[in-house]
């Protein structure tokens, strides 16, 4: 595999969960919503269409798999998927478990309030429950 360096901000804001064929899967360290990110392990990618067709296909499958695992593990009402990159240009996809009445409902979560880091044991337990469904 070509070299890959994870963006420093993504690294600081999230916790490593797993490495799939293309993507690193990471838990956003924000206890307000079960929220994972998928980062294709390719340097210099910023938009979805920057990826090769094969990588686009792999990203989609990994996104679908990870999203289903997150929904199964949390029993959430709806997933929110997004690739914004207004702050961090390295291509990364958000998958967030949403429920009526959560802190940002029905709006998006990005930019809302202040990140609430997990208690370490809670993060470990959530990661285990998501990986069990993956």
Kindly state whether residue 61 participates in binding its own copies, applying the rule CB under 8 A.
yes
Q: Nearest-CA neighbor of 26 among 76, 125, 93, 100?
A: 93
Q: Which two tokens stand for residue 7?
A: 């963006």
- List the x/- string, 1-40, binding to its own copies by CB under 8 A: ----------------------------------------
Which of 28, 2, 5 lies closest to 90, judged by CA?
5
Q: Does 80 help bind its own copies (rule: CB under 8 A)? A: yes
Site stretch for its own copies (CB under 8 A), options 1-9, 11-19, 51-59, 120-128: 51-59
Give 49's DSSP letter: G
- Three-state DSSP class for residue 19: strand
Q: Is 44 in the site for its own copies (CB under 8 A)?
A: no
**SS3 for 87?**
coil
Binding footprint of its own copies on the chain (CB under 8 A): 46-49, 51, 53, 56-57, 59-61, 63-65, 67-68, 71, 78-87, 89, 98, 105-108, 110-111
């Amino acid at each position: 595999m070509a070299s890959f360096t994870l963006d420093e901000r993504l690294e600081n804001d999230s916790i490593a969960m797993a490495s799939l064929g293309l993507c690193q899967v990471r838990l956003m360290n924000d206890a307000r919503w079960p929220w994972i990110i998928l980062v294709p392990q390719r340097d210099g990618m910023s938009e979805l269409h920057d990826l090769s067709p094969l990588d686009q296909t792999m990203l989609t499958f990994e996104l679908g798999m990870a999203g289903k695992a997150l929904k199964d593990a949390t029993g959430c009402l709806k997933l929110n998927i997004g690739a914004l990159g207004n702050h961090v240009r390295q291509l990364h996809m958000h998958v967030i478990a949403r429920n009526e009445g959560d802190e940002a409902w029905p709006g998006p979560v990005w930019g809302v309030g202040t990140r609430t880091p997990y208690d370490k044991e809670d993060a470990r337990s959530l990661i285990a429950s998501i990986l069990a469904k993956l």
